[in-house]
């Protein structure tokens, strides 16, 4: 059964337009001082936030914006601990600065590219954070095994057939030698991390064995 049906999480989409007055329910306006494009009006956003806070849950109010702190696994972990996240999604060129200053707890960016609105960014945050709530993950092999939980990229993985269009599975994985397999996986994870995300290795303090394996990789790699 899904996490929502099991009562582990509840996701509600709130339409800011429902909090805008008048027949036309206007949520955008021109920027003071002139310039390109439109901004989100403050009052409908504030009312929408308040409508969720009234539910009495301990809430974190987050604005999705390219100006925010870069979303990472660590932030997903922190956010997964809040009773309620209120994810504010802007459209147009942004939101009135007074909303940001007085009604937003935290600004998050999912990456250095430009989206049309914050909605897809909010979905990314919802998916990354909710799967860290105990019981949500379908496969209880769990978040312990994820990329990043160890500070390393994943090792290469294979399933049947043993030979795919002439391409074999690495022999060691078929050997049944659990210790050899563990060592191979550790080495390949370190190799990939060294090649693709070397900054991970500087952040993480390596154990004796890891350092030895890494030196071997550097020595023997092309
Ligand atoms: N990671 N966008 C938000 C409109 C906007 C601008 C400023 C509030 C303040 C994005 C990202 C992202 C585009 C979402 C601009 N709203 N959000 N939108 N990258 O590009 O989170």
Backbone region of residue 183 per phi and psi (left: phi > 0; alpha: psi in -120 to 50; beta: other values): alpha
The predicted structure's pLDDT at residue 19: 98
Question: Do the Cβ atoms of 133 and 9 come closer than 8 Å?
Answer: yes
Annotated catalytic, 195?
no
Atom of ligand 1 nearest to the CA of 111: 19
The yes-or-no answer on residue 146 being catalytic is yes
Residue 58 phi, psi dihedral angles, 5° rounding: -75, 115
Q: Looking at the predicted structure, is the pLDDT value of residue 15 above 60?
A: yes
Asked whether 143 and 131 are in contact (CB, 8 A), the reply is yes
What pLDDT score does 150 carry? 81
pLDDT for the residue 145: 65
Q: Is the CB of 65 under 6 A from ligand 1?
A: yes
Using DSSP's 3-state secondary structure scheme, residue 133 falls into coil
The whole-number pLDDT of residue 203 equals: 80
Residue 30 confidence (pLDDT):
98
**Confidence at 140, pLDDT banded by 50, 70, 90:** low
Q: Is the pLDDT of residue 141 over 60?
A: no
Q: Is the pTM of this model over 0.85?
A: yes
Beta bridge partners of 39: 29
Distance CA 130, CA 76 (A): 8
Mean pLDDT value across the chain: 95
Q: What is the DSSP string of 157-179?
A: ---S-SEETTEEPPGGGGS--HH
**pLDDT higher than 80, residue 137:** yes
* Distance from residue 91's CA to the centre of ligand 1 (Å): 7
Output 104 or 141, whichever has higher pLDDT.
104
Which of ligand 1's atoms lies nearest the C-alpha of 112?
A: 19
pLDDT above 90 as % of the chain: 89
Taking residues 188-200, what's their average pLDDT? 97
Q: Is the pLDDT reported for residue 222 higher than 70?
A: no
Span 166-186, pLDDT tens digits: 999 999 999 999 999 999 999
């Amino acid at each position: 059964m899904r996490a929502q049906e099991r009562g582990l999480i509840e996701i509600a989409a709130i339409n800011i337009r429902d909090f805008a007055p008048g027949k036309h329910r206007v949520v955008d306006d021109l920027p003071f001082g002139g310039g390109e494009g439109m901004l989100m009006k403050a009052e409908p956003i504030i009312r929408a936030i308040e409508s969720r806070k009234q539910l009495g849950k301990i809430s974190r109010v987050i604005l999705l914006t390219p100006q925010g702190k870069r979303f990472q696994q660590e932030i997903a972990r922190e956010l997964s601990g809040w009773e309620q996240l209120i994810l504010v999604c802007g459209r147009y060129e942004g939101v009135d600065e007074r909303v940001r200053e007085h009604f937003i707890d935290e600004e998050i960016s999912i990456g250095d590219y430009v989206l049309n609105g914050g909605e897809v960014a909010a979905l990314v945050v919802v998916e990354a954070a909710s799967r860290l709530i105990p019981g949500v993950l379908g496969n209880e092999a769990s978040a312990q095994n994820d990329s990043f939980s160890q500070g390393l990229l994943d090792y290469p993985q294979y399933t049947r057939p043993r030979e795919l269009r002439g391409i074999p599975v690495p022999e060691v994985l078929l050997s049944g030698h659990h210790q050899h397999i563990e060592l191979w996986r550790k080495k390949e994870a370190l190799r990939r991390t060294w090649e693709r995300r070397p900054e991970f290795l500087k952040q993480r303090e390596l154990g004796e064995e890891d350092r030895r394996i890494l030196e071997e990789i550097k020595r023997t790699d092309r």
